[in-house]
């Protein structure tokens, strides 16, 4: 059955589930860091939700799909606004994966720059490889080879994961993390119940 209205509604629900994952990441990361840094970590997750729409709508959508965000939103009847919302949530998720990896090791202003680069350039380029031809633009090279990534496991999580790996290779471990006697115990956690709540929210969002 081909029902565009149902398709759009389903994509909007999925956008809400991906947005819910932002709450999961926030709780998980804030709960597993030290109390003095939990507010900073939570703010970085909120910053992603401010940076991603701005960067992705200004330039990222054009780079990813060959169709600018203004063109997407200029005609409400085109049905492109909902896919744009969905991709914006994915973009924010790719950035927020980095926030957990660099927790307690990166200042907020430096993180904002990193998140901006991910949302403006890195995620759109990788996304164009797999989904570039979805809305009228040229097909990406992975897409041309038959690559399928319905729920972002490659485009979103690998992009965020490799960006996080690059960041921690540059930053190194948290100061004092491998001091004598610290290796086994680690740092004290802010709120383990909050972290567990975050994990449950993430499990639900992954649906």
Q: Which pLDDT score, from 0 to 100, does residue 95 have?
A: 93
Alpha helical stretches, state H, the chain: 4-32, 35-55, 61-65, 69-74, 81-101, 108-117, 123-131, 141-144, 155-171, 182-185, 192-205
CB 31 within 8 A of CB 190: yes
Q: What is the pTM of this model?
A: 0.87
Q: Please report, for residues 23, 86, 166, 172, the alpha-carbon distance to residue 13 in angstroms, rounded to integers and kept in the order given.
A: 16, 9, 33, 38
Q: Which pLDDT score, from 0 to 100, does residue 76 have?
A: 56
Q: Which pLDDT score, from 0 to 100, does residue 182 have?
A: 60
Question: 196: which 2 tokens?
Answer: 């567990």
Q: Which pLDDT score, from 0 to 100, does residue 73 have?
A: 56
Q: Which pLDDT score, from 0 to 100, does residue 134 have?
A: 81
Q: Which pLDDT score, from 0 to 100, does residue 4 have?
A: 77
List the chain pLDDT tens, one digit each, 207 residues. Answer: 567 788 889 999 999 999 999 999 999 999 989 888 888 899 999 999 999 999 998 888 888 887 655 555 555 555 678 888 999 999 999 999 999 999 888 999 999 999 999 999 999 999 999 998 887 778 889 999 999 887 787 899 999 999 999 999 999 887 776 766 666 666 777 788 999 999 999 999 887
Q: What are phi and psi of 21, to 5 degrees?
A: -60, -30
Half-sphere exposure of residue 100: CA atoms within 13 angstroms, side-chain side: 22
């Amino acid at each position: 059955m081909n029902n565009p209205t149902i398709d759009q509604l389903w994509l909007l629900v999925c956008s809400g589930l991906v947005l819910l994952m932002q709450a999961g990441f926030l709780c998980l990361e804030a709960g597993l860091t030290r109390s003095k840094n939990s507010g900073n970590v939570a703010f970085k997750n909120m910053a992603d939700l401010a940076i991603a729409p701005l960067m992705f709508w200004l330039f990222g959508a054009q780079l990813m799909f060959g169709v600018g965000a203004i063109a997407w939103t200029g005609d409400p009847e085109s049905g492109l606004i909902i896919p744009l919302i969905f991709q914006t949530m994915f973009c924010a998720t790719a950035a927020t994966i980095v926030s957990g990896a660099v927790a307690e090791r990166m200042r907020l202003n430096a993180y904002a720059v990193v998140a901006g680069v991910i949302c403006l350039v890195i995620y759109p380029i990788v996304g164009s490889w797999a989904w570039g031809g979805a809305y009228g633009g040229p097909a990406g090279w992975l897409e041309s080879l038959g690559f399928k990534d319905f729920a972002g496991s490659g485009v979103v999580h690998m992009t965020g994961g490799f960006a996080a790996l690059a960041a921690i290779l540059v930053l190194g471990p948290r100061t004092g993390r491998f001091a004598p006697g610290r290796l086994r115990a680690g740092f004290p956690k802010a709120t383990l119940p909050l972290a567990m709540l975050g994990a449950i929210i993430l499990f639900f969002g992954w649906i």
